[in-house]
């Protein structure tokens, strides 16, 4: 993978960190995105020491701020004229409703809208680098969703439920992948969604989840995959010939898997794309 430029969100810990480590060990240039500068610098040193790579960069990125997303994209494009692999890895789950800097419900705003904005800003670089790949980390948790309510994506009218909001955001990741793949047909850029497995990381345990949700996540920790194990499917989709020969698929345990009917709804995927564009436009106008 020498000469390959990769960008990974949430690369300072967990699956993102192990994905960065593996790609760096293969010789790729890896741009590690992190919200917290100190944690990002520590993660970059960790990968440097374990791989010996001198082709690592740190990029400040807070997916809860569209200003930060735009600044990160601009900073990347100032330094690189190509992007071979974009892995939208970062994500969170919340027990209580919160909002981003732009006023979006945080689970949807960070897990979907932040990545949607980043990806669209980098599409030209991906197209210039074809064959290239976009990988969106989704989850089997999308099966908790019974379809997106495009009129209440922010849970302003409905009572907030953290699990349901998370499931909706993961369904959004899959629908985004479906529509992205359709729009990129013929460009040489493929898009896939990935379920990493239930991984024992800091996910859900950084103070964002409390009460019953927090206790359940903590109790489940002993049965979870390691971050390195959780990175396997992302790496398979990032590097395998099989994933490069198709697009718009959902993967689990390094194999294609059928999402729910909601995740295969092409009309819903198009509607979500249009709604996402409108939401971002309204926040930046």
202, 13 contact by CB (below 8 A): yes
Query: Strand order of the sheet with strand 29-34?
Result: 56-60, 29-34, 5-8, 85-88, 132-137, 189-195, 249-252, 255-256
> Known catalytic residue: 262?
no
- 3-state DSSP call for residue 60? strand
Burial class of 48 by CB neighbour count within 10 A (0 to 12, 13 to 18, 19+) = middle
Other CB atoms within a 10 A radius of the CB of residue 74 amount to 10
Look at the block and give the residue holding tokens 């999402």: 259
Residue from 155, 166, 250, 262 carrying the catalytic annotation: 166
Distances (CA, A) of 152 to 46, 155, 157, 160, 168: 41, 5, 6, 11, 11
C-alpha distance across the termini of the chain, in Å: 40
**Bridging pattern class, strands 189-195 and 249-252:** parallel
Q: What are phi and psi of 241, to 5 degrees?
A: -65, -35
Active-site positions?
166
């Amino acid at each position: 993978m020498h000469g390959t430029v990769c960008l990974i969100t949430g690369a300072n810990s967990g699956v993102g960190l192990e994905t960065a480590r593996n790609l760096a060990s293969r010789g790729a240039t890896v741009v590690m995105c992190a919200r917290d500068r100190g944690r990002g610098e520590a993660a970059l040193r960790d990968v440097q020491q374990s791989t010996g790579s001198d082709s690592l960069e740190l990029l400040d990125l807070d997916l809860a701020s569209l200003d930060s997303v735009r600044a990160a994209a601009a900073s990347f494009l100032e330094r690189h004229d190509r992007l071979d692999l974009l892995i939208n890895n970062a994500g969170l789950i919340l027990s209580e409703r919160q909002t981003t800097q732009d006023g979006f419900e945080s689970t949807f705003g960070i897990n979907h809208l932040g990545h949607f904005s980043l990806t669209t800003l980098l599409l030209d670089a991906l197209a210039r680098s074809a064959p290239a790949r976009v990988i969106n980390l989704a989850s089997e948790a999308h099966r908790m969703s019974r379809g997106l309510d495009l009129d209440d994506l922010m849970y302003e009218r409905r009572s907030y439920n953290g699990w349901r909001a998370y499931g909706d955001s993961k369904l959004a990741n899959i629908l985004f992948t479906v529509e992205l793949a359709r729009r990129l047909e013929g460009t040489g850029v493929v898009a896939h969604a990935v379920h990493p497995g239930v991984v024992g990381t800091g996910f859900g345990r950084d103070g964002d989840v409390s009460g019953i949700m927090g206790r359940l996540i903590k109790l489940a920790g002993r049965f979870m995959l390691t971050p390195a194990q959780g990175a396997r499917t992302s790496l398979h989709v990032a590097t395998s010939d099989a994933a490069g020969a198709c697009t718009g698929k959902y993967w689990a345990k390094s194999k294609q898997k059928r999402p729910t009917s909601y995740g295969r709804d092409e009309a819903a995927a198009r509607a979500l794309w249009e709604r996402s564009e409108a939401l971002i436009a309204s926040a930046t106008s």
